[in-house]
Structure 1
Amino acid sequence: MAQYDTIRTTAGARTGEIDAGLRAHMNKVYGTMSVGMLITALAAWAISGLAVTTDPSAAAAQLPNGTMLSGLGATLYLSPLKWVVMLAPLAFIFLGWGALLRRAPAAGVQLGFFGFAALIGLSLSSIFLVFTSFSIAQTFVVTAIAFAGLSLWGYTTKKDISGWGSFLIMGVIGLIVAMIVNIFLQSPAMMFAISAIGVLIFAGLTAFYTQEIKNTYVAHAAQGDQEWLDKAAYDGALNLYISFLNMFQFLLMFMGQQE
């Protein structure tokens, strides 16, 4: 009996240790993601400010809504460089992130994530020239509330939603293809459909990634590889960051008021 009590006590202590570690791990994921969002917001705001001018004699170009662009703004938004700005984040995700996870130390992965967040800020800076600041803030708040609810559900649900992953990733690939096609078609109806489907896909991915982060930690916590767990936290933060950011952008298509 004493032996059984010892085993039960040890198992309970181990479970409590994993639970405490999981909470710390999730806090690290959400904290890293939040810092990334702050970097993105500051970078987008700063670059958008440098991209415009109020001096007509210094304007290099003008947008249809009357906004006068500085030389930097014309280069970023109207020259062929705009394709580099748009596609660089995708290139980082598909070509750079996996290599960074495999070869770099945890501190290097964290730095790579923050660099990616700044790059996203560059690519998103144009929204401050198109949409009002109030509608951007309003959409951000709505996205944050939706994200929090979806992530909480993904963390607490007893339902196994791991099967959603492949289906949702296929949906993301389809969205990317449709968006590239619509760059040339410029169809408002197609853009509306893309936005609606995009919100649903990234809502599902928010819950899916949250559960995956939790399950991954529980499966590997006993191994005690802190370096690997730190990298896993940054990878999870990136996945949730991307889900949040895409929900925000697609919701902005519905809720955003143009300048």
Structure 2
Amino acid sequence: MNQYPSMQRSAAKAEVLNAFMRGVYGWMSGGLALTAVVAYLTASVPALQQLVFSIDPATNTVVGISSLVWILMFAEIGIVFYLGARISSMAASTATGLFLLYSGLNGLTLTPILLMYTFESVASTFLITAAMFGTMSIYGMITKKDLTSWGSLLFMGLIGLLIAMVVNMFMQSSAMAFAISVIGVIIFLGLTAYDTQKLKTMGEMVPEGDSAAIRRGTIMGALTLYLDFINLFLMLLRLMGDRR
């Protein structure tokens, strides 16, 4: 029996999967880079600072976060839900544009948080986040264990985390804030491995030759891992960051 055709099909599938995952990580990295550039410019350019901060004109000092930041945060949530609901039917270029728009807006809305910490602690936390994220993503790619069962547990943990964060907005408990950050790190590390394995499975089933479907899949995958990375970074920053 000639095994060459089956070997060729396996090699072709492996190449499609590799291309798919390269696309996911490539677009995710591009989104993170765009977020970093926008955050840096917002923190450095006075005209952009006025977009995210409320400034007292009499003293020219920052007195709070501008209402635009809250509007943009709701816009970001809308983009995420819209992409999740319509990704299969929208044009690949539209999905790409929305992902880049989300990444840019996130740079604006993250600026007030990042400026609460020293540059050194932000940079070191980013590197630690990258190392932890990379380790868990590699685990999700190479493990033979089925991580599907993690999904419901992590989702319930995420809901509980959001509820605890809302409650602590009123309680202002430092001990609870610490616990939220620790649990958040665990949840987003788990989600990184879980989502990576899910994307690997998606890449194995992506239709060969359908460039639009592949691009839409890579953009949705990039957004998923981007969110895992950003949230892991923010949780670690709350734990490890040195405040100004």
Change (3 A) 1:28 1:79: closer
Counterpart CA distance in 2 for 1:97 and 1:234 is 9
- Asked if the contact 1:100/1:109 (under 8 Å) is kept, the reply is no
Work out whether 1:35 is the aligned partner of 2:30. yes
Work out whether 1:19 is the aligned partner of 2:14. yes
User: How many matched pairs?
Assistant: 237
Deviation at 1:129, TM superposition (A): 2.1
Deviation at 1:79, TM superposition (A): 4.1
Rg larger in structure: 1
- Asked if the contact 2:84/2:220 (under 8 Å) is kept, the reply is no
- Pairing 1:122-137 to 2, within 5 Å after superposition: 122-137=108-123
TM-score, structure 1 normalization: 0.84
Change (3 A) 1:226 1:78: closer
Change (3 A) 1:190 1:89: farther
Aligned equivalent of 2:70, options 75, 78, 83: 83
Change (3 A) 1:219 1:161: same
Counterpart CA distance in 2 for 1:88 and 1:220 is 30
CA RMSD of aligned residues (A): 2.2
Deviations 1:65-124 (A, max 9, x none): xx933xxxx5xx434444324443233323x22244143211110111111111111110
Deviation at 1:171, TM superposition (A): 1.7
Aligned equivalent of 1:68, options 61, 65, 69: 61
TM-score, structure 2 normalization: 0.89
Structure 2 unaligned segments of length 5 or more: list them.
49-53
Work out whether 1:142 is the aligned partner of 2:128. yes
Deviation at 1:181, TM superposition (A): 2.4
SS in 2 for 1:257: coil
Change (3 A) 1:52 1:123: same
Task: Please name the residue that 1:93 is paired with.
Answer: 80
The structure whose RCO (Cα within 8 Å, separation 6+) is larger is 2
Name which of structure 1's ranges 228-237 and 152-161 shifts more when overlaid on structure 2: 228-237
Deviation at 1:61, TM superposition (A): 3.8
SS in 1 for 2:36: helix
- Pairing 1:162-181 to 2, within 5 Å after superposition: 162-181=148-167
